[in-house]
């Protein structure tokens, strides 16, 4: 039996564990407390619209090869009509243009797609070359916007199993088209308007925001298709979940065959023009 004066052993104290903290929530809390606290430099996209293109007449307007000197004007026009589009950007053009147009695309609900770094014919490159063309463009767009692209369009519509495999590895669905306005060849806003307004529900319309005549046609295209009851959607809005590596042509089977059988070769004959 121990003496009353003997020391009593203290109970072991468990080690302190810091509480789990969500870094994003902490940063937001500190930003509210301290207005000078640095906030994210990345743009914030609007909430998803939840459009069901099985019930609504949808059309996807797509613009390739930018951003360039006319892109800002095109964004102004799209904003007036509350229209959303998909921009397939070239990495070199992004590097020269800077972040402003890309960040505006995000904040106004447009979709950004990968159109390679240098507009190279991907099927003529090695696997490493394809990875470089797509990977560099993924990186620069992510650096400027904080977003990873999930769609790509192979330059000239030229793709094969190797391109599909690289696209799949990078989480990119391949987007072709069902309606080619040929605006890269016919620099006439009236002609571009007439061809673009021939869209049917589910059409993917191919245009280029590097051509002033295409941007001049934009308000006429938007006005006429709006009057015909169309809603202008991004590719992700049209299809929902897109499968990486898979090719999407729009909803019209004859157009799918035309895009697959004729247009790629025609466009490769005209490599001198940006397409």
Q: Kindly list the catalytic residues.
A: 64, 208
Residue 115, SS3 per DSSP: coil
Rg (CA), the chain: 25
The helix (run of H) or strand (run of E) holding residue 194 is: helix 189-196
Which residues, listed in sequence order, are joined to residue 167 by a DSSP beta bridge?
none
Instruction: Decide: 274 and 203 in contact? Cβ < 8 Å.
Output: no
Separation between Cα atoms, residue 141 and residue 102, nearest integer Å: 8
Contacts of 42 (CB under 8 A, 6+ apart): 103, 145, 146, 147
DSSP per residue, 132-193: HHHHHHHHHHHHHHS----EE--GGG---HHHHHHHHHTT-EEE--SEE--TTT---HHHHH
The helix (run of H) or strand (run of E) holding residue 89 is: strand 86-89
Is the link from the previous residue into 67 a cis peptide, with omega within 30 of 0? yes
Instruction: Decide: 248 and 242 in contact? Cβ < 8 Å.
Output: yes
């Amino acid at each position: 039996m121990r003496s009353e004066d003997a020391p009593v052993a203290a109970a072991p104290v468990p080690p302190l564990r810091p509480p789990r903290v969500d870094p994003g929530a902490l940063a937001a809390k500190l930003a509210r407390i301290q207005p000078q606290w640095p906030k994210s430099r990345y743009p914030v996209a609007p909430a998803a619209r939840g459009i069901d293109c099985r019930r609504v007449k949808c059309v996807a307007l797509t613009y390739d090869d930018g951003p360039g000197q006319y892109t800002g004007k095109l964004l102004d026009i799209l904003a007036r009509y509350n229209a959303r589009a998909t921009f397939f950007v070239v990495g070199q053009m992004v590097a020269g243009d800077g972040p402003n147009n890309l960040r505006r695309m995000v904040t106004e609900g447009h979709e950004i797609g990968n159109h390679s770094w240098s507009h190279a014919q991907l099927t003529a490159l090695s696997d490493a070359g394809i990875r470089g063309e797509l990977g560099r463009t993924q990186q620069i767009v992510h650096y400027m916007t904080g977003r990873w692209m999930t769609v790509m369009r192979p330059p000239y519509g030229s793709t094969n199993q190797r391109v599909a495999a690289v696209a799949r590895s990078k989480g990119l669905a391949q987007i072709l088209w069902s309606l080619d306005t040929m605006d890269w060849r016919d620099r006439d806003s009236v002609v571009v308007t007439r061809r673009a307004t021939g869209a049917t529900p589910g059409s993917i319309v191919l245009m280029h925001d590097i051509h002033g005549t295409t941007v001049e046609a934009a308000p006429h295209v938007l006005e006429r298709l709006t009057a015909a009851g169309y809603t202008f959607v991004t590719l992700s809005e049209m299809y929902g979940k897109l499968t990486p590596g898979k090719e999407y042509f729009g909803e019209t089977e004859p157009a799918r065959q035309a895009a697959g059988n004729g247009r790629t070769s025609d466009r490769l004959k005209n490599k001198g023009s940006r397409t």
